C-alpha cells in the first residue's frame, strides 16, 4: 500500500461538490457570452465556403456592406501578421485565400452592430468559387495518396509469419465514424483592444496559452501584449483544444479593423460546419490465432480521415497506434497508420484523442476471433491480456514475459487480471450469458447481447514536452487562499480537485481556497488541459506552490517555538508545533508582519517519460489507467433499433481525490462513448457538405438513453506511481468502456443471424455507429 502523509480531516478523498455547481444551477456562473460587454462591442459572423474544394476567385461584399448595421468585412487582406495560423505544421490559413478546402471553411467575417445583422449580411456576401474535384472519403484519399502527414509504422517480430503459421486466420475491414463534440456552450471569443497595442481575449478554450500565441502571431505582435482569460467552458471534450483559437484570432482581427471590442459566437449550425470533429477511421486487418484465441500474428492498417489540414492529427493518429493493442500482448505485430487528407473540416482532439479508434480496432478483432472459434469472448480477452509472468502452462520456462507493448513500453502496473474477474462476479457475467442465450432461443423479435471489454489507457501527453505545469498560490493576510494554475475548467472538476489538494497541503478547510480564472498573465506557457492530465499536472504544481508557502510558515513557527520546522503540522485550519496550536490565520498575519513571503509559484514535470518520435518507441506514458465494463443490449430485429439495458463498470481512478466527480466523469464518458457508437452519425453529402449539422439530424444520447441499470464502481487501489494523492487521471479512459456496447450489439446481431439460419460463426460485418440502419443491414 501507498504511504500518505495526511491521515485525517483531509479535503482529498471526499465527494465535495464541484466548485461552480451551485452557481451553475442558479445561472450565476458566467460563460464568455454572459460577461458584461465593454462599451461599443460589435459582433461578427463568419462568411463560409459552400464548396468543398475550389479556387476562390473573388469576394463581392457590396450587398453585405449595404445591410443596415454592418461596419466592416474582414478577410485575409486584413491580417497584419502571418496569414497562416501558428499551428505546429503551419498548414492552415487564418482565412481561406486563393483556394477553399472544405464546405464551411471561413473566408472572412462580417462585423455589425448586432449579431443578427452580422449573420444576415454574411449570407449576402457573393463568392466567386470555381469548384475543383474534392476528396471526401478515406478510400478516395488512399487511392489519390492524399495525406496531411506521412505514414507511421510500429512493428515487432514477424507479423506475416505469425499470421501464416497460425492454426486459424481471419481478415476483415470496417470503419468507425467521427463525432461532433456538441459542447453545451458553443465556440466563442470576445477580443477587447487595450491600451498601447495590447489585447485582452476572453476565450472558451482548453488552451489559453496557445490562443495567446496564435493571436499574437496573426496580429504580428509579441505574446506579452496578449492576455487570454477563461473562467470556465460549458464543455470542451477536446473540441476547444485548438478550435477555440480560430475564433479568438478571427475576433481579434475584426477588432483590430473596427477598433472596437468584437464578439464572435458561432451559431450551432455554423459551429457544426466550421469546426473539426473526432477523426473517422477505416481499418483493414489480418490476424492469426490458436484454438484458444491467443493472437499469434496481427497486421492492422489504420486510416484516419484528418480533413484538410494536420491540426492535431499527427498526435491523434499516434495515440491510436499506441492503443491498438488495448490490453493485449501482441508478439508479432505490424501497425500502419495513414493520415489521410480530405476536403472536410480539419478533424481534431476528442475525448480519448485517437485512443478510442485504436481500442475499438483490437476489440472488434477479438470479438471476431471469439465468434469464429465459437467461444466466449471474455475467455479470448483473458488469454490475450498483458502478463508479466510465464503463464502458458507446460514448458512455460521457454516463454518470454508477455508484458511489453508494440512500442516497447513495459506494462508494469497491469491490474486487469484482478479487475476483470471482479467485474465478472459483480455483473454475474457467466450466468447472464446463459440467460441471454436462453432469451435469444425463446424470442424471435428482440435479440440480446452481452459483452465485457477492458480499457488500458496511457496517461501523459504523447509529446513529452507538454507534460509540465505551473501554479501560483497566494495566501492573504486574513488566511484565505487563492490558487491559479495553467489548467482550464470545462466541467470536469479540475478546479475543485486542485483546491482540495491545496487545502490539504496547507491544512485548511476547503472553503478557504478559491481557484481563479485561467489567465496567461498569471501562469505562462501552460499546456492544453487535455490528455486527462489536468489534475496530474496542475495538482502537482499547485501542491508544490502550497508546499513552499507551508515551508515558509513552518520555519516561522519553528523560530517562535524553538523547534524543528519538520515538527510543525498543518491540520484542521491550525498550525501545530510541539508547544502550541495556533489558528492558521493568526500565524499568517503574524508572518506577514515579520515579512515572510505568503505566496509562491510551483512547477511540475512528469518524471520517467521519454520516447523516440521517429519510431514511436519508448515510455510515452507515466502510467496506465484501467477499467472494464459489462454491457447488455437489446436489438429489434424488425427495425434495427437498439437499447442499452444494463451496464456495470469497474474503473480504476487510483486513490480518488473526489469520488463524486470521478464517478460523474465515468458516467459521462461512458454515455458519450455510447453515443459515438450507436446514434451519433455524421453524414456528409456527395458534395462534401455536412448534412447532419443540428440536433434535428445529429442524435446525441438524452437522459432517456441512460441504461435503466447503470452501476459504476471504483477500483480501490492507489496509483503506485507518485501522482498527486496517488490518484489516476479519469477524464478520457471511461469513454472507451462504451466499446462493450458495440461488442454487445454485435453479439446480438450474431444471434439474430443465427436465428435467420446463417452460421453462428460467420463474421458480423458492421461499421460504427451501430445505427438502426446499420444493425438492420448487418442482420440481413
Ligand atoms: N468532462 C466535462 N464535464 N466536460 C468536458 O469538456 N472533457 C474531457 C474530460 N472530461 C470534458 C470532461 C476531456 S477530452 C479531457 S482531456 C479531460 O476531461 C480534461 O480534463 P482533465 O485533464 O482535468 O481531466
Ligand atoms: N492528448 C491530448 N491532447 C494532446 C496530446 C495528447 O496526447 N498531444 C497533444 N495534444
Ligand atoms: Mo481531451 S481529447 O485530451 O481534450
Torsion of Cα atoms, 488 then 671 then 652 then 505, to 10°: 30
| 769 prior amide bond cis, ω within 30 | yes
Cell of 88: 505546429
**What are the Cα distances from residue 415, in Å, to 203, 323, 327, 663?**
40, 17, 10, 19
**Which pLDDT score, from 0 to 100, does residue 388 have?**
82
Angstrom distance (rounded) from CA 623 to CA 411: 8
Q: Is the CB of 732 under 6 A from ligand 1?
A: yes
What band does 399 get if pLDDT is binned at 50, 70 and 90?
low
Taking the centre of ligand 3 as the mean of its atom positions, its distance from the CA of residue 648, in whole angstroms, is 25
Place of cell 502537482: 540
pLDDT tens string 316-353: 999 999 999 999 999 999 999 999 999 999 999 999 99
**Which pLDDT score, from 0 to 100, does residue 397 have?**
57
Which among 633, 695, 699, 627 is positioned nearest to 667, based on CA atoms? 627
pLDDT tens string 603-631: 999 999 999 988 889 999 999 999 999 99
**Which pLDDT score, from 0 to 100, does residue 2 have?**
41
What band does 392 get if pLDDT is binned at 50, 70 and 90?
low
What band does 4 get if pLDDT is binned at 50, 70 and 90?
very low
Question: By the 8 A CB rule, do 35 and 96 touch?
Answer: no
Question: By the 8 A CB rule, do 237 and 350 touch?
Answer: yes
Q: Is the CB of 186 under 6 A from ligand 1?
A: no
Q: What are phi and psi of 198, to 5 degrees?
A: -100, 165
Which among 658, 606, 601, 592 is positioned nearest to 484, based on CA atoms? 601
What band does 7 get if pLDDT is binned at 50, 70 and 90?
very low
The burial class, CB within 10 Å (0-12 / 13-18 / 19+), for 400 is exposed
Q: What is the DSSP letter of 564?
A: -
Q: What is the DSSP letter of 26?
A: T
Q: What are phi and psi of 498, to 5 degrees?
A: -65, -40
Q: Is the CB of 447 under 6 A from ligand 2?
A: no
Task: Determine the atom of ligand 3 nearest the C-alpha atom of 529.
Answer: 4
Instruction: Write the CB contacts of 129 (distance below 8 Å, at least 6 apart in sequence).
Output: 49, 50, 51, 54, 55, 56, 57, 100
Q: Using a pLDDT cut of 90, give the percent of the chain over it.
A: 95
Instruction: Write the CB contacts of 236 (distance below 8 Å, at least 6 apart in sequence).
Output: 181, 183, 204, 205, 206, 244, 488, 490, 529
Average pLDDT, the chain: 96
Which among 70, 59, 162, 167 is positioned nearest to 112, based on CA atoms? 70
**Which pLDDT score, from 0 to 100, does residue 1 have?**
36
Task: Determine the atom of ligand 1 nearest the C-alpha atom of 353.
Answer: 14
Angstrom distance (rounded) from CA 47 to CA 50: 9
pLDDT tens string 559-568: 999 999 999 9
Phi/psi zone of residue 390: left (φ > 0), alpha (ψ -120 to 50 degrees), beta? Answer: beta
What band does 225 get if pLDDT is binned at 50, 70 and 90?
very high
Instruction: Write the CB contacts of 670 (distance below 8 Å, at least 6 apart in sequence).
Output: 629, 647, 649, 712, 734, 735, 737, 738
Among 656, 661, 731, the mutation site with the greatest number of ligand 1 atoms within 8 A of its Cβ is 731
| CA atoms within 13 A of residue 352's CA, in its CB half-sphere | 33
Stretch 204-209: mean pLDDT, rounded?
Answer: 99
Which among 369, 342, 370 is positioned nearest to 285, based on CA atoms? 369
Stretch 54-67: mean pLDDT, rounded?
Answer: 98
Angstrom distance (rounded) from CA 488 to CA 208: 8
Q: Please pick, among 286, 721, 732, 743, the residue that the annotation labels catalytic.
A: 732
Q: Is the CB of 312 under 6 A from ligand 2?
A: yes
pLDDT of 176 higher than 90: yes
DSSP-derived 3-state class of residue 102: coil
Q: Write out the H or E segment, with its range, that includes residue 303.
A: strand 295-305
The burial class, CB within 10 Å (0-12 / 13-18 / 19+), for 145 is exposed
Angstrom distance (rounded) from CA 742 to CA 449: 10
**Which pLDDT score, from 0 to 100, does residue 398 have?**
56
**Which pLDDT score, from 0 to 100, does residue 761 have?**
85
Q: What is the CA radius of gyration of the chain?
A: 27
Q: Write out the H or E segment, with its range, that includes residue 235.
A: none
Phi/psi zone of residue 235: left (φ > 0), alpha (ψ -120 to 50 degrees), beta? Answer: left
Q: Is the CB of 490 under 6 A from ligand 1?
A: yes
Give, to the nearest 10 degrees, the angle between helix 355-373 and helix 659-678. Answer: 70
Taking the centre of ligand 3 as the mean of its atom positions, its distance from the CA of residue 705, in whole angstroms, is 24
Taking the centre of ligand 1 as the mean of its atom positions, its distance from the CA of residue 462, in whole angstroms, is 17
**Which pLDDT score, from 0 to 100, does residue 749 have?**
98
To the query of whether residue 732 is one of the catalytic residues in this protein, the response is yes
pTM of the model: 0.97
Q: What is the DSSP letter of 528?
A: P
Place of cell 449579431: 115
Angstrom distance (rounded) from CA 30 to CA 388: 50
Instruction: Write the CB contacts of 288 (distance below 8 Å, at least 6 apart in sequence).
Output: 162, 163, 164, 165, 166, 167, 168, 169, 295, 296, 297, 298
Q: Is the CB of 530 under 6 A from ligand 2?
A: yes
Stretch 73-100: mean pLDDT, rounded?
Answer: 98
Q: Which ligand is nearest to the CA of 319?
A: 2
Place of cell 493571436: 215
Which among 205, 216, 190, 213 is positioned nearest to 44, based on CA atoms? 190
Report angle CA 466, 467, 469 to the nearest 5 degrees: 95
**Which pLDDT score, from 0 to 100, does residue 614 have?**
86
Instruction: Write the CB contacts of 434 (distance below 8 Å, at least 6 apart in sequence).
Output: none
Among 322, 673, 732, the mutation site with the greatest number of ligand 3 atoms within 8 A of its Cβ is 732
**Which pLDDT score, from 0 to 100, does residue 746 have?**
98
Angstrom distance (rounded) from CA 521 to CA 644: 47
Cell of 380: 479470448
Angstrom distance (rounded) from CA 539 to CA 384: 35
Q: What are phi and psi of 302, to 5 degrees?
A: -115, 125
Q: What is the DSSP letter of 536?
A: I
Taking the centre of ligand 2 as the mean of its atom positions, its distance from the CA of residue 716, in whole angstroms, is 28
pLDDT tens string 30-59: 999 999 999 999 999 999 999 999 999 999
Angstrom distance (rounded) from CA 13 to CA 7: 11
Taking the centre of ligand 3 as the mean of its atom positions, its distance from the CA of residue 225, in whole angstroms, is 28
**Which pLDDT score, from 0 to 100, does residue 393 have?**
57
pLDDT tens string 92-145: 999 999 999 999 999 999 999 999 999 999 999 999 999 999 999 999 999 999
Place of cell 461512458: 670
- Strand ranges (DSSP E) for 49-176? 54-60, 70-75, 99-100, 106-112, 126-131, 147-156, 168-176
Amino acid at each position: 500500500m501507498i504511504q500518505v502523509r495526511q491521515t485525517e480531516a483531509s479535503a482529498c478523498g471526499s465527494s465535495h461538490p464541484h466548485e461552480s455547481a451551485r452557481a451553475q444551477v442558479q445561472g450565476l456562473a458566467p460563460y464568455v457570452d454572459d460577461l458584461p460587454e465593454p462599451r461599443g462591442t460589435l459582433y461578427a459572423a463568419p462568411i463560409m465556403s459552400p464548396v468543398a474544394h475550389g479556387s476562390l476567385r473573388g469576394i463581392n461584399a457590396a450587398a453585405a456592406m449595404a445591410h443596415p448595421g454592418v461596419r466592416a468585412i474582414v478577410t485575409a487582406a486584413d491580417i497584419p501578421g502571418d496569414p497562416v495560423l501558428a499551428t505546429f505544421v503551419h498548414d492552415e490559413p487564418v482565412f481561406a485565400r486563393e483556394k477553399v478546402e472544405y464546405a464551411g471553411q471561413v473566408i472572412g467575417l462580417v462585423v455589425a452592430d448586432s449579431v443578427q445583422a452580422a449573420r444576415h449580411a454574411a449570407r449576402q456576401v457573393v463568392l466567386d468559387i470555381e469548384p475543383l474535384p474534392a476528396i471526401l472519403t478515406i478510400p478516395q484519399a488512399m487511392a489519390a495518396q492524399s495525406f496531411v502527414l506521412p505514414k507511421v509504422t510500429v512493428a515487432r517480430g514477424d507479423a506475416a509469419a505469425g499470421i501464416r503459421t497460425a492454426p486459424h486466420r481471419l481478415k476483415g475491414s470496417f470503419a468507425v465514424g467521427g463525432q461532433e463534440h456538441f459542447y453545451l456552450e458553443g465556440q466563442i471569443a470576445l477580443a477587447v483592444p487595450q491600451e498601447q497595442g495590447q489585447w485582452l481575449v476572453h476565450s472558451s478554450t482548453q488552451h489559453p496559452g496557445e490562443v495567446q500565441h496564435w493571436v499574437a502571431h496573426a496580429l504580428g505582435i509579441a505574446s506579452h501584449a496578449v492576455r487570454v482569460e477563461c473562467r470556465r467552458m460549458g464543455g470542451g471534450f477536446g473540441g476547444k483544444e485548438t478550435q477555440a483559437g480560430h475564433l479568438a484570432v478571427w475576433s481579434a482581427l475584426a477588432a483590430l479593423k473596427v477598433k472596437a471590442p468584437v464578439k464572435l459566437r458561432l451559431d450551432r449550425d455554423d459551429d457544426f460546419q466550421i469546426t473539426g470533429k473526432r477523426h473517422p477511421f477505416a481499418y483493414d486487418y489480418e490476424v492469426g490465432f490458436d484454438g484458444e484465441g491467443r493472437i499469434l500474428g496481427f497486421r492492422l492498417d489504420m486510416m484516419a480521415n484528418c480533413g484538410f489540414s494536420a491540426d492535431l492529427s499527427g498526435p491523434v493518429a499516434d495515440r491510436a497506434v499506441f492503443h491498438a493493442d488495448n490490453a493485449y500482448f501482441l508478439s508479432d505485430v505490424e501497425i500502419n497508420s495513414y493520415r489521410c487528407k480530405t476536403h472536410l473540416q480539419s478533424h481534431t482532439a476528442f475525448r480519448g484523442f485517437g485512443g478510442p479508434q485504436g481500442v475499438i480496432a483490437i476489440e472488434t478483432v477479438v470479438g471476431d476471433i471469439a465468434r469464429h472459434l465459437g467461444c466466449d469472448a471474455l475467455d479470448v480477452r483473458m488469454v490475450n491480456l498483458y502478463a508479466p509472468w510465464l503463464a502458458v502452462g507446460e514448458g512455460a520456462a521457454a516463454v518470454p514475459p508477455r508484458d511489453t507493448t508494440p512500442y516497447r513500453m513495459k506494462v508494469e502496473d497491469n491490474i486487469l487480471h484482478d479487475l476483470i474477474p471482479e467485474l465478472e462476479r459483480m455483473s454475474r457475467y457467466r450466468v447472464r450469458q446463459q440467460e441471454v442465450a436462453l432469451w435469444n432461443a425463446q424470442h424471435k423479435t428482440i435479440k440480446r447481447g452481452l459483452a465485457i471489454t477492458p480499457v488500458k489507457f496511457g496517461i501523459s501527453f504523447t509529446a513529452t514536452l507538454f507534460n509540465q505545469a505551473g501554479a501560483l498560490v497566494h495566501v492573504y493576510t486574513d488566511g484565505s487562499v487563492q490558487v491559479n494554475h495553467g489548467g482550464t475548467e470545462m466541467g470536469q472538476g479540475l478546479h475543485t480537485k486542485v483546491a482540495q489538494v491545496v487545502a490539504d497541503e496547507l491544512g485548511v478547510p476547503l472553503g478557504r481556497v478559491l481557484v481563479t480564472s485561467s489567465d496567461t498573465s498569471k501562469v505562462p506557457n501552460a499546456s492544453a488541459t487535455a490528455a486527462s492530465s489536468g489534475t496530474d499536472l496542475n495538482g502537482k504544481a499547485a501542491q508544490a506552490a502550497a508546499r513552499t508557502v507551508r515551508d515558509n510558515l513552518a520555519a516561522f513557527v519553528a523560530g517562535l517555538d524553538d523547534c524543528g520546522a519538520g515538527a510543525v503540522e498543518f491540520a484542521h485550519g491550525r498550525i501545530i508545533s510541539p508547544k502550541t496550536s495556533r489558528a492558521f490565520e493568526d500565524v499568517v498575519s503574524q508572518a506577514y508582519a515579520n515579512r515572510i513571503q505568503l505566496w509562491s509559484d510551483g512547477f511540475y514535470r512528469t518524471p520517467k517519460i521519454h520516447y523516440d518520435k521517429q519510431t514511436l518507441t519508448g515510455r510515452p506514458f507515466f502510467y496506465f489507467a484501467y477499467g472494464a465494463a459489462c454491457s447488455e443490449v437489446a436489438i429489434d430485429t424488425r427495425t434495427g433499433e437498439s437499447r442499452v439495458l444494463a451496464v456495470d463498470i469497474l474503473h480504476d481512478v487510483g486513490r480518488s481525490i473526489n469520488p463524486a466527480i470521478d464517478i460523474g466523469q465515468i458516467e459521462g464518458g461512458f454515455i458519450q462513448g455510447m453515443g459515438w457508437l450507436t446514434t451519433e452519425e455524421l453524414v456528409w453529402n456527395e458534395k462534401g457538405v455536412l448534412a447532419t449539422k443540428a440536433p434535428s439530424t445529429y442524435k446525441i444520447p438524452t437522459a432517456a438513453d441512460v441504461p435503466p441499470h447503470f452501476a459504476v464502481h471504483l477500483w480501490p487501489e492507489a496509483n503506485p506511481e507518485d501522482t498527486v494523492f496517488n490518484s489516476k487521471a479519469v477524464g478520457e479512459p471511461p469513454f472507451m468502456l462504451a466499446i462493450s456496447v458495440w461488442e454487445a450489439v454485435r453479439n446480438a446481431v450474431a444471434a439474430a443471424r443465427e436465428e435467420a439460419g446463417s452460421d453462428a460463426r460467420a463474421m458480423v460485418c458492421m461499421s460504427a455507429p451501430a445505427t438502426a440502419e446499420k444493425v438492420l443491414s448487418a442482420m440481413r
